[in-house]
Amino acid sequence: MKNRLMTPIPPELVLEILTYISGCRDVLRACCLVCRAWRRLAQPFLFSKLSLSLEAHCHRWNRKFATYPHLAQYVTRLKLWEGNWGGADVVLLEDQPPFLEGPATVELLRRLPNIKYLKMSDFFLPSEREIEVLCHFTRLEWLEMHEVLRIVDMEIRSHTSEDLIGPTLHDFVDVVPKRLRNLKLQDPTESLYIFSWLSGGVFDLSDLTDLTLSWESFRKNHPPSPPLSSYIVPFISIVGSGIKNLGLNIETVEDERELYANHMLGE
């Protein structure tokens, strides 16, 4: 009998398969081992997302991207959170620079030219140098921020500090402003200074069409909010006319109790 060659799977069908399993990283890794053609198609899915919280995590990625530079071009979604604020981490890492100022972090972020989605969590009053690091992402379209620029110290809430922090962020100008299309903010009234940053020279909001504001909860015993108009009015005047999809999400106390009850039942 003559040996019959198997009909190769069209690349378009392979891409459909990879798209369907894109959430299964173990399966994507296995696809990279099938053959060279599958590896070339699977790697963009496997390396499309990157999550970082400590500078120690960046060393391994720097070594990998130094060996295989093309892999860094596949990263389009980046999640950053300030891992140093964890109780145990503060003791171990108190003598190290902030996460976004660490040499390994700066080196890694500068290797990522194609970031379009950025999620930031738990960054308290990022320094000017940290903001400069984030300005590297010239292709950013989607920005999601949780617990960023959150003011919790009463001394920082003073009138003098407000006058200092707000204009500093607003006046920071980027060489290539990020043209955002989608923006999501959590507890924005607790992080008013963020509006100065967003409406300043770092971002181009002329194409912003999707805006989502979410609050963890509204309780009757909340302290009175600081004046909002000086921060929010300039922001709304810039983005208001272009917004097509506006989301307002509020998690009530009842929602919290239900989530807690479901968690306990799941245990």
| pLDDT 10s digits, 114-125 | 999 988 887 765
CA-derived radius of gyration, the chain: 22
Q: What 8-state DSSP symbol labels residue 10?
A: P
pLDDT in tens, 147-196: 766 544 333 344 444 444 555 555 555 656 778 889 888 877 666 667 77
Task: Name the β-bridge partners of 248.
Answer: 213
The DSSP annotation for 174-232 comes to EEEEEE-SEEEEESGGG-THHHHHHTTEEEE-TT--EEEEEES---TTPPPPPP-HHHH
Q: How far apart are CA 216 and CA 2, in angstroms?
A: 68
pTM equals 0.67
Q: How far apart are CA 203 and CA 200, in angstroms?
A: 7
> What mean pLDDT do residues 73-91 have?
69
Structural domain spans, the chain: 8-45, 46-266
pLDDT of residue 262: 46
Q: How far apart are CA 152 and CA 141, in angstroms?
A: 29
Q: What 8-state DSSP symbol labels residue 73?
A: T
The sign one gets for the Cα dihedral 200, 202, 205, 211 is negative
Taken as a whole, the chain contains a residue count of 267
Matching residue, tokens 């809430």: 157
